[in-house]
Structure 1
Amino acid sequence: MSSWERELDAMAHNTGFSGVVAVHQGDDSRFENAYGLAHRGYAIPNTMDTRFGIASGTKGLTALTVVKLIEQGSLDLTTSARSVLGTDLPLIDDAVTVEHLLAHHSGIGDYVDEESDLEITDYVLPIPVHRLVDTEDYLAVLDGFPAKFSPGARFAYCNSGYVVLALIAQRVGGRPFHQLVRELVCAPAGMRDTEFLRSDELPGRVAVGYLPFEDVSRTNIFHLPVRGSGDGGVFSTVADFRSFWPAFVAGDIVSPEWVAEMVRPRSDVPEESKRYGLGFWLHESKDVVILEGCDAGVSFQSAHDPSSMLTFTVISNTSDGVWPLAEYLNEQLWP
């Protein structure tokens, strides 16, 4: 075990990390370990094949679903949201396009505003979470938020924008959004364990998400939609992301030309020390491509360097468990 591997393992133990860590280079595994409990009540440990929520990591899969529909001729980057939404969500500017939504340049109001002072333990959804099952159900939480700025004016990370993309994909694709993601992205990427699961009927081998309350093991079941949509809510494994990245960069999901377009920087985001393409975060100066997410009882980061085929994935069933380990890996693997 190298010095950085020993330090990473020690950091996981010292921080009380609950989740999984994997570092791979091509077909070679450089580090794999699981820590903590998938279910605290029954003392079920996390393992390397535990399925975890990945929160906004879902946005990359949503973007790929939309781009695949563009490849198939059902959409275009210039397609207006209004042309698909009809009279739904009237506060969305008629000039907002699919490209604006993918790049977080739409300016539409956000039902979960990343710029607000929300606590991760707050109950933010305005309707009971059990009512959010299918993507069309999200119309009830998306409506009523005025635009922040004109389409294309600047970058502003927007969860609502990615639910709108899921609505658009579902309507033009002719089948449920969850099915589209499975067929168009997960199947060609070999992501067999990646699925939009219902939080109230989780199968075996799935980690329960826990919130940061002192001396209380409180789960996230009342904080998140019972089933996610375009902005978050997929459950996955480190093995599936080991499959995903090579499939993505090889053009097995969308064409190499579209891969290049999706990882072309569209915005500098200095407050995150990153750039942004279409559905993917990008390293501030290197060609490393990143998916990440954080929500109540969930944290996730997976990063891939196409030139070296080096990948790391860290997933936790706590709200902030990933970040110390992911920051360390970023420093060690691509300083």
Structure 2
Amino acid sequence: MTRDVAALEREIEALAAAGFAGVVRVDVAGTPVLRAAYGLADRARAIPMTVGTRLAIASGAKTLTALAVLSLVDDGVLGLATTARSLLGDDLPLVADDVTVEHLLAHRSGIGDYLDEDTGFDVGDYLMPRPVHELVDTEDYLPILDGHATKFPAGTGFSYCNGGYVLLALLAERASGVGFHELVRQRVTARAGMDDTAYLRSDDLPGDAALGYVDVHGAWRSTVFHLPVRGSGDGGVFTTVDDVHRLWGALLARRIVSDTAVEAMLRPRSDPDEDGLSYGFGLWLDVRTGEAALHGSDAGSSFYGVHDATRRLTWTVVANTIDGARPVHRAIEAWLR
């Protein structure tokens, strides 16, 4: 069908006038039909977004974690049946002995979470139970991963678990002997040609990175006190819309991990939620449409990266507020119907 790109542009411009700040890219049959930036990357200095602006994608980074771990599985450094306990030793004693890498990848480990999204916390609050400037490397997260009781026996249920993906990063480090951020660079972003993707320090952002903003009692504040100074397995990577599109190409061409690993990522491992979404390994899967997606939402960040192989559609929306991306994503979905 013929789609009116100008109509979509007008709709997104209206959303930008109402407050959306971020970057959008839409590809149809492998060709970019929309690639545009809106609003400010830095409100205090009035620095505008550009299509090359790097933005945080929150939990969208879990896909990179899954890929790094599955790359180690491909090489025999880890196995899906490897238990967390075999690498934890005496650390995190509340993690059950039978929790495996596979359970963690699929959010079926049952371990307690340091940021439990089932509790309905407010991201505008200061959530981290440890000073954020102390959270730089994955081993630094051990104290906040500890002390959370098991929710259910491993493999018997699904519960989205941020801490489980930090634990995956920790296991990957210990198994490989390579720091997690470097592991992702070597095994994921370098293989995909994602040169503008990195785990940046929030207190030392380069000029091409957008600040994240959160509404605190009616005033926009940066998220420098809300989030770890440097993210780990559950989030914290900064990227561009073009790099996200490179990720899809590299993933589906099997340039990052094997065909077996890609098939494992695309296999639903949870019952569909109210939106029809199931979870594979590091990817959300729409059981109705066949779309695969990266999603992220946190203080100062919201993100959708979606690929529909059947219709040859790919779109990415990133914003520097927690709710900025969703209405744009919905507008694109409606336009593509």
Contact 2:54/2:209 (CA < 8 Å) preserved in 1?
yes
Partner SS, residue 35 of structure 2: strand
Q: 1:38: how far off?
A: 0.4
1:326 aligns with 2:329: yes
Q: 1:25: how far off?
A: 2.7
Letter in 2 for 1:60: T
**Match in the other structure for 1:236:** 239
Partner SS, residue 326 of structure 2: helix
1:119 aligns with 2:122: yes
Letter in 2 for 1:292: H
Correspondence for 2:15 among 12, 37, 40: 12
Q: 1:14: how far off?
A: 4.2
| C-alpha distance in structure 1 between counterparts of 2:251 and 2:168, whole Å | 20
**Match in the other structure for 2:270:** 267
RMSD: 1.4
| C-alpha distance in structure 2 between counterparts of 1:267 and 1:233, whole Å | 25
| C-alpha distance in structure 2 between counterparts of 1:331 and 1:69, whole Å | 39
Matches within 5 A, 1:28-39: 28-39=31-42
Correspondence for 2:98 among 78, 95, 98: 95
What is the TM-score normalised by the length of structure 1?
0.96
Q: Cα deviation per residue 1:165-195 (whole Å; 9 max; x = unaligned)?
A: 0000001111100000000000111111100
| C-alpha distance in structure 1 between counterparts of 2:219 and 2:52, whole Å | 26
| C-alpha distance in structure 2 between counterparts of 1:145 and 1:272, whole Å | 29
Matches within 5 A, 1:198-237: 198-213=201-216, 215-237=218-240
Q: Which piece of structure 1 moves more, 20-29 or 315-324?
A: 20-29
Q: 1:224: how far off?
A: 0.2
Gaps of 5+ in 1: none
Q: Cα deviation per residue 1:19-67 (whole Å; 9 max; x = unaligned)?
A: 0111013541111111110001100000000000000000000000000
Correspondence for 2:89 among 86, 93, 99: 86
Q: 1:246: how far off?
A: 1.1
| C-alpha distance in structure 1 between counterparts of 2:5 and 2:206, whole Å | 37
| C-alpha distance in structure 2 between counterparts of 1:72 and 1:260, whole Å | 16
**Match in the other structure for 2:158:** 155
Letter in 2 for 1:282: L
Change (3 A) 1:291 1:169: same
1:22 aligns with 2:34: no
1:142 aligns with 2:145: yes
Q: 1:214: how far off?
A: 5.7
**Match in the other structure for 2:314:** 311
**Match in the other structure for 1:280:** 283
1:179 aligns with 2:182: yes
| C-alpha distance in structure 2 between counterparts of 1:111 and 1:271, whole Å | 25
| C-alpha distance in structure 2 between counterparts of 1:13 and 1:124, whole Å | 29
**Match in the other structure for 2:67:** 64
Letter in 1 for 2:33: R
What is the TM-score normalised by the length of structure 2?
0.96
Partner SS, residue 69 of structure 1: helix
Letter in 2 for 1:293: G
Letter in 2 for 1:49: G
Partner SS, residue 242 of structure 1: helix
